[in-house]
Amino acid sequence: MRHNKKAFTLVEMLVALAVSAVIVSATYASFELIKNQYKKNVDVTLLHTSGRAIMQVLEREIRMAGYEYRDGNGVMTYGTIIGPLVITDSGNKCCDEVTIIYDEVTDTLNAQGVVTSSIVDRIKTRFWTEAYSSTKRGSRFRLFKRRTILGTNNQLLQTPQVGAKEVMADFIEDLQLINTSGKEFLYAAGRARVHKYDTTTYEWIESFAVGYYPHIGAMDIGSDGKLYSVVAKNGPNSIQIVNLDAQTATFIDPPGGNNRFNPGLGFGPDGSLYVNAGSSEVDVYDISTKQLLRTEANPNSSITNLTNGRIDVSASGQVCQVPFGTPTINCTNPTMSMGRSGPYNIVKFDTQERVYATKDSTGTDIDVFNVSTGAYIDSIKVGINGQSGSSNTHGLANLSNIKKLSTVNIVLSLRTKEKYGKNRQVDKKDYHSGNFIFSKNDQYQRDTFSSTVAVRNL
């Protein structure tokens, strides 16, 4: 008996193989597309989750700034907080940082929910960013947090308990914190000229000729908004008073025409002008009457510091000085040393806890440091953008009309870990706060988070 056995021909096998290959390729392509879209969705979700989490932490901490615990009798456990909220402006770059101080209370409850005891710690928390780069995921910033215990067991610690440096988040592109209104400017005295700089952009604004060549030493701006310095006025030294608006000068001449005034002066907490009179004496003047009030024959260090351009004291009590011939600025409370291009001859604080330092030479930049950490922030470039390259700096003074507000604006920008799709243009929106203006053109996905926080205790 004969049986017919049917089978696929070679042509049919080739056709089937080709169709199967097309189906498998299409399936793999779809799988890759779905997988990439899934990775993108997870990445963007993590971006949003991280952004919201960072904002919640910052909002909670900032809201507590300045809280001072009082016991049942209304007595503060640790006393008044100095500098409860200090924001360090980064200028036109990433990123601002903030230091917050408040009292943290942990209550112990009994079975009925009644507080039986409380533990109160005074806490200082700092948030800041540092640049980070990797081959796979490019350059960005990481956000850090450090918690320091300033007081515990009802007493302030002589040596604070500094906590670990914790990474809060990665892929930060900008963090701006604003709780002030107004502006602050830095003034420098050159050879019979005054130079004005913007402390937000660290750029030169203008220079104008006035008065006489100032001696090296401290100079200061009084409550009348005028710039005071000791100058060589055709003979004996005089106190030069510059009206910064009218760009004119008047003088307080030494009594009797003698050469009593030496380089260096400053305003004390009482609003009086303290002038170096030589022979370890300091003359004290009323600037409204321009009359001598008294002479301090044996002035203490807080008075002599006012007249020394190499020493300055911040509002929070930080004392910094520039020793002769060294490239550093030495500070106490806390103790640190910072520097970049010294040796410096002049040092000056502003109201935002930044310290400025420069040499006494032609065209020398003014370096800016964070006094809380000693980190270099930026430099005011002398002799560019229209300013004469022969400009000198013989003294520094700051003028501020900045007012602290009871709110803080927070603007946070993040990007994804990976790149997706085509390059896209991303510009910072002008309705977002902060002076860092960035523009990006790449494949990263980005988002910006913003919030306004009411600070309860300011």
pLDDT category of residue 127 using cuts at 50, 70 and 90: very high
162 within 8 A of 148, measured Cβ to Cβ: yes
85 within 8 A of 62, measured Cβ to Cβ: yes
Query: CB neighbours (10 Å) of residue 416?
Result: 20
Residues 269, 419: Cα–Cα separation, whole Å: 56
Q: What is the pLDDT of residues 237-271, one digit of tens each?
A: 999 999 999 999 999 998 876 788 999 999 998 99
CA dihedral 50, 53, 57, 60 (to 10 degrees): 150
Q: Determine if the peptide bond prior to 94 is cis (ω within 30°).
A: no
Residues 274, 218: Cα–Cα separation, whole Å: 11
Residue at 182: amino acid letter: G
303 within 8 A of 274, measured Cβ to Cβ: yes
Q: What is the pLDDT of residues 283-321, one digit of tens each?
A: 999 999 999 999 999 899 889 999 999 999 887 788 999
136 within 8 A of 160, measured Cβ to Cβ: no
Classified as helix, coil or strand, 184 is: strand
95 within 8 A of 172, measured Cβ to Cβ: yes
What 8-state DSSP symbol labels residue 190?
-
Is pLDDT of 82 > 90? no
Would you state the pLDDT for residue 167?
Answer: 94
The average pLDDT across 129-152 equals 93
Residues 27, 32: Cα–Cα separation, whole Å: 9
- Tell me the whole-structure pTM to 2 decimals: 0.67
Sign of CA dihedral 319, 334, 60, 46: positive
The average pLDDT across 219-236 equals 90
282 within 8 A of 250, measured Cβ to Cβ: no
Burial 434-446 (b: 16+ CB within 10 A, else e): bebeeeeeeebbb
447 within 8 A of 429, measured Cβ to Cβ: no
How are strands ordered across the β-sheet holding 291-296? 265-267, 273-278, 281-286, 291-296
- Which residues lie below 8 Å from residue 114, measured CB to CB, with a gap of 6+? none
Would you state the pLDDT for residue 169?
Answer: 93
Query: CB neighbours (10 Å) of residue 244?
Result: 18
Residues 213, 225: Cα–Cα separation, whole Å: 20
385 within 8 A of 203, measured Cβ to Cβ: yes
313 within 8 A of 301, measured Cβ to Cβ: no
Would you state the pLDDT for residue 456?
Answer: 83
Would you state the pLDDT for residue 372?
Answer: 77
Tell me which residue of 212, 237, 216 sits closest to 308, measured CA to CA: 216
The average pLDDT across 14-36 equals 72
* β-sheet bridge partners, residue 264: none
Sign of CA dihedral 47, 53, 56, 57: negative
Q: What is the pLDDT of residues 191-201, one digit of tens each?
A: 889 999 999 88
Per-chain mean pLDDT for the chain = 87
Joined together, the tokens standing for residue 111 give 């079975």
pLDDT category of residue 137 using cuts at 50, 70 and 90: confident
Residue at 131: amino acid letter: A
> Domains, the chain, ranges and CATH?
44-179+404-454 (no CATH), 184-401 (2.120.10.30)
Sign of CA dihedral 46, 49, 52, 54: negative
- Which residues lie below 8 Å from residue 36, measured CB to CB, with a gap of 6+? 420
103 within 8 A of 123, measured Cβ to Cβ: yes
How are strands ordered across the β-sheet holding 184-189? 203-209, 193-198, 184-189, 396-400
Joined together, the tokens standing for residue 180 give 């002030």
**Alpha helices for 263-349 (secondary structure H):** 301-306
Q: What is the pLDDT of residues 87-121, one digit of tens each?
A: 888 878 899 999 999 999 888 888 888 877 788 99
More confident position, 155 or 3: 155
- Rg of the chain taking only CA atoms, in angstroms: 31
